[in-house]
Amino acid sequence: MLDGCVPWPEDVAAKYRAAGYWRGEPLGMLLGRWAEQYGEREALVGADGCSRVTYRALDRWCDRLAAGFAARGIGAGERVLVQLPNTPEFVAVCFALFRLGALPVFALPAHRAAEVGHLLELSGAVAHILPGTGTGYDHVAAAVEARARRARPVQVFVAGEAPAVLPEGFTALADVDGDPVAPADVDAFRRGVFLLSGGTTALPKLIPRTHDDYAYQCRVTAGICGLDADSVYLAVLPAEFNFPFGCPGILGTLHAGGRVVFALSPQPEECFALIEREHVTFTSVIPTIVHLWLAAAAQGHGRDLGSLQLLQVGSAKLHEELAARIGPELGVRLQQVFGMAEGLLTFTRDDDPADVVLRTQGRPVSEADEIRVADPDGRPVPRGETGELLTRGPYTLRGYYRAPEHNARAFTEDGFYRSGDLVRLTADGQLVVEGRIKDVVIRGGDKVSATEVEGHLGAHPDVQQAAVVAMPDPVWGEKVCAYIVPAPGRPAPPMAALRRLLRARGLADYKLPDRVEVVDAFPLTGLNKVDKKALAADIAAKTAPTRPTTA
């Protein structure tokens, strides 16, 4: 067991094995099996349509990459930060690492120095795989700069178009190659991959997922979505995100022998063209992308989307009015998905009545998922009432990586994860998300930790205190609003200055405030804490659409 991980109790693990949820098959081995089964069928297609990789070729590619990594000292138990755009290389890298028993630690391409530095530190990664040129941000230059400051330099591998001359300690991923070596003996009960948490604390935490639990999640969700060798998945959201990676997404599609097509942006021009060209049958998106696609559909885009059967929508609340437009206007079946990188997934099903699909977030994907809806004291509330969602099950973590203090708060004694989401269960057991208690802004599908942004805002000399709250937005669902109390006698810094500061401090763009409100003092709760509910209500009232008054 990797130090810093919390195992499932042995009796529970035995139960999950006996029930066939955990099959003892490491992810790297599964690719070998898929290659045998699906051989010359296409597995991966790049957005440009030129890079097309069959199952057999992917299997060989991973073997050679794994050998190349091994030759550079990357071995079992080692962590590697993977920060790649949606390309076939991303999948090859993951499986090469799985085969070595090394663990990919996922970062988003949108992450900058602050997040990357933190993830390298926390994970103890020995290497960082990042994108080359052409992504709109110079990850290589940023890594050079970070390397000079870091006490423990890591090997850097540059994917895609690498600059002609690479700095010392940097290797083009294309040069990582070697004759296949015997695969490592990987225990499927062990951690296989680290996913990123949505961030309730100031800095993201790492979610250790085992080979067994992740393989089960992909299998069970692929089954619910009815995937088979004719399924074609469009990976629109960043592939490092749990939703596209394995719900069922990329891995679920490979398990079924289907084809994964990568999109580099969620823009309808690109995605609709890919759907038409590749006869995409399903994809997964966030509500913000639904808005974009509906607007494009209303304008007439001239693309044939007839192959698209299933649209999974999740990661942020999908409002009923928007949900109701998906079928008629895009001609696809909607599936609502509620999920978290920590584990639990709930889906609406193919044969659910329209009411359930439009108004609920569905029910758990596994019969072994346990759900408790609890009051603030942790006691179950009566069915139908709203409370905090607690959960445990065969693919839900028992603890974050290297976070004992946080784990003591985030998990109950009997191993339930406290999600921070407010939900209720309908009479027939469907989950409805009603809100949340965790201090997170869900901007589109990106999770922004209020505490993290507040900490950085407080670094401005003219800011005495900052409080970050969610601001309702018709397209993004929520945006980031920062309330500021200026330092005594100082002018409030303008929003542009605050955004510049946060960027300079290495924060990803999606976390920067979309609006700044300046106040003399914050409202306080009875316990003398900043009353964020009052601030959220204030900004909601200020930004509410004004309704025309009738005479």
Give residues in contact with ligand OOB (CB under 6 A): 198, 242-243, 247, 314-317, 336-341, 345, 361, 419, 421, 433, 436, 442, 445, 447
Q: Please identify, using beta-carbon distances, which residue of 127 and 334 lies nearer to ligand OOB.
A: 334
Closest approach of ligand OOB to the CB of residue 272, in Å? 23
Q: Please identify, using beta-carbon distances, which residue of 259 and 447 lies nearer to ligand OOB.
A: 447
Closest approach of ligand OOB to the CB of residue 338, in Å? 4
Please give the structure tokens belonging to residue 185: 């003996």
What distance in Å separates the CA atoms of residue 88 and residue 174, rounded to the nearest whole number? Answer: 13
Q: Please identify, using beta-carbon distances, which residue of 98 and 338 lies nearer to ligand OOB.
A: 338
What distance in Å separates the CA atoms of residue 240 and residue 130, rounded to the nearest whole number? Answer: 12
Closest approach of ligand OOB to the CB of residue 345, in Å? 6
The distance from CA 373 to its chain's CA centroid, rounded to whole angstroms, is 24
Closest approach of ligand OOB to the CB of residue 244, in Å? 9
**In this structure, which amino acid lies at residue 457?**
L
Q: Please identify, using beta-carbon distances, which residue of 66 and 368 lies nearer to ligand OOB.
A: 368
Closest approach of ligand OOB to the CB of residue 32, in Å? 27
What distance in Å separates the CA atoms of residue 17 and residue 21, rounded to the nearest whole number? Answer: 6
Closest approach of ligand OOB to the CB of residue 339, in Å? 3
CA-derived radius of gyration, the chain: 23
The distance from CA 6 to its chain's CA centroid, rounded to whole angstroms, is 21
Closest approach of ligand OOB to the CB of residue 246, in Å? 8
Q: Please identify, using beta-carbon distances, which residue of 307 and 407 lies nearer to ligand OOB.
A: 407
Q: Please identify, using beta-carbon distances, which residue of 66 and 222 lies nearer to ligand OOB.
A: 222
Q: At what angle do helices 495-504 and 450-457 cross, to 10 degrees?
A: 100
Closest approach of ligand OOB to the CB of residue 1, in Å? 23
What distance in Å separates the CA atoms of residue 549 and residue 277, rounded to the nearest whole number? Answer: 48
Answer for the pair 246, 225: CB distance below 8 angstroms, yes or no: no
Q: Please identify, using beta-carbon distances, which residue of 54 and 210 lies nearer to ligand OOB.
A: 210
Q: Give the CB-nearest residue to ligand OOB.
A: 339
Counting other chains too, the contacts that 271-277 makes at CB distance below 8 Å and 24 or more residues apart are 271/234, 271/236, 272/296, 272/301, 272/303, 272/305, 273/303, 274/47, 274/234, 275/234, 275/303, 275/305, 275/307, 275/308, 276/303, 276/304, 276/305, 276/307, 277/49
Q: Please identify, using beta-carbon distances, which residue of 316 and 539 lies nearer to ligand OOB.
A: 316
What distance in Å separates the CA atoms of residue 56 and residue 60, rounded to the nearest whole number? Answer: 6
Q: At what angle do helices 249-256 and 211-224 cross, to 10 degrees?
A: 70
